Amino acid sequence: MEQAVTKKIIKIEVGLNESNHPVTIDWTADDQQTSQDLQASKAMLLSLFDRHSLETLKIDLWTKDMQVMEMDRFFFQTLRSLADTYYRATQNSSLATDFQGFVQYFGEKTEILPKK
């Protein structure tokens, strides 16, 4: 395994209410181009692939004020990005194209994109 020559820190703070539901999600990264102040978010999806178990560990959080239309947009943009990342990582254009087709379908069904 290649050795790291530098390390970066990504900090995520989640504020919970009395029922342990997220009410705030704030983050910062030490190499942000803008301010080092915490940036407010309404939702986050974090997936980590465990080196040893070969399992995906996930944290999916959203605040109570996240509206359905915002969640639709969040997922549309995430799926579109995942399709692009999948292609860059695997060069499997056939599956990446199929994935993009689903993203298009999802965008149309959620009315983020106009129907063709």
Number of domains in the chain: 2
* Residue 116 resides in a domain: no
| Same structural domain, 81 and 27 | no
Give the residue numbers spanning the domain of 103: 67-111
| Same structural domain, 18 and 51 | yes
Residue ranges of the chain whose pLDDT lies below 70? 32-35
Q: Using an 8 Å Cβ cutoff, are 57 and 48 in contact?
A: yes
pLDDT on residue 1: 81
pLDDT on residue 34: 67
Q: How far apart are CA 116 and CA 96, in angstroms?
A: 20
| Same structural domain, 60 and 82 | no
Which of 30, 24, 33 has its CA nearest to residue 11? Answer: 30
Q: How far apart are CA 90 and CA 85, in angstroms?
A: 8
**How much is the pTM?**
0.88
**3-state secondary structure at position 11:** strand
| Same structural domain, 38 and 73 | no
| Same structural domain, 49 and 6 | yes
